[in-house]
């Protein structure tokens, strides 16, 4: 092999090696990012569902889903704390909401064993459909999660 051939093959090998190194780094980085986002849990685990809900709140400022019997709105998010949160519970008859709670702060938790979303409301004013009004320092509401909530099909419906 002539010196020119060796030089050309060496010059081609370096960009190819750099490209392969970059590709491996990209794949490795994406794997780490996925692990950090879901903390090693699948989307249907409690942590995965919480991340899905918080992501939707960050993106849209609210959570609406046809199979959830409530809506959750937040003016702002500070870490896991919803600020100026509004919780609306749908009427069993499907006619609007039977309860609206406005809280200075709220936090979401998922109880995977009971398949429930727990909404911790603090400094909360509650208005019922019949006009009754109450104020409580702290209240936790539980909302049943629909079957397969957090699966790919259901995730796209969360708004």
CA dist 31 and 4 (Å) reads: 41
Instruction: Note whether 52 and 111 are same-domain residues.
Output: yes
Would you state the structure tokens that stand for residue 69, as one six-digit string?
């019997």
Report the number of distinct structural domains present in the chain: 2
Higher pLDDT, 10 or 96: 96
14 lies in the same domain as 34: yes
pLDDT digit string (tens) for 67-103?
889 999 999 999 999 999 999 999 998 889 999 999 9
- What are the φ/ψ torsions at residue 108 (nearest 5 degrees)? -105, 140
Residues 94 and 30 in one domain: no
What residues have CB less than 8 Å from 121, skipping those under 6 apart?
A: 85, 87, 101, 103, 105, 106, 136, 138, 139, 140, 141
Q: Is the same domain home to 28 and 53?
A: no
Residues 63 and 123 placed together within one structural domain of the fold: yes
H or E stretch at 141: strand 133-144
Shared domain for 7 and 70, answered yes or no, is: no
| CA-to-CA separations, 108 to 7, 79, 93, in angstroms, rounded | 62, 11, 26
| Domain interval for residue 13 | 1-38
Q: Are 29 and 51 members of one domain? A: no
pLDDT tens figures, 24-58: 444 544 333 343 344 444 445 678 889 989 999 99
Shared domain check, 149 and 78: yes
Verify that 56 and 89 share a domain, yes or no. Answer: yes
This prediction's pTM: 0.65
Whether 19 and 74 share a structural domain: no
């Amino acid at each position: 092999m002539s010196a020119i051939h060796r030089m050309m093959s060496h010059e081609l090998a370096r960009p190819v090696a750099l490209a392969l190194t970059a590709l491996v780094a990209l794949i490795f980085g994406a794997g780490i990012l996925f692990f950090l986002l879901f903390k090693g849990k699948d989307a249907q685990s409690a942590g995965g569902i919480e991340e899905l809900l918080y992501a939707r709140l960050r993106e849209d400022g609210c959570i609406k889903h046809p199979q959830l019997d409530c809506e959750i709105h937040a003016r702002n998010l500070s870490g896991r704390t919803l600020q100026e949160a509004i919780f609306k519970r749908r009427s069993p008859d499907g006619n609007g909401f039977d309860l609206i709670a406005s809280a200075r702060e709220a936090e979401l938790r998922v109880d995977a064993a009971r398949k429930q979303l727990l909404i911790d409301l603090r400094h909360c004013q509650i208005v019922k459909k019949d006009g009754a009004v109450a104020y409580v320092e702290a209240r936790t509401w539980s909302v049943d999660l629909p079957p397969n909530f957090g699966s790919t099909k259901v995730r796209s419906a969360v708004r």
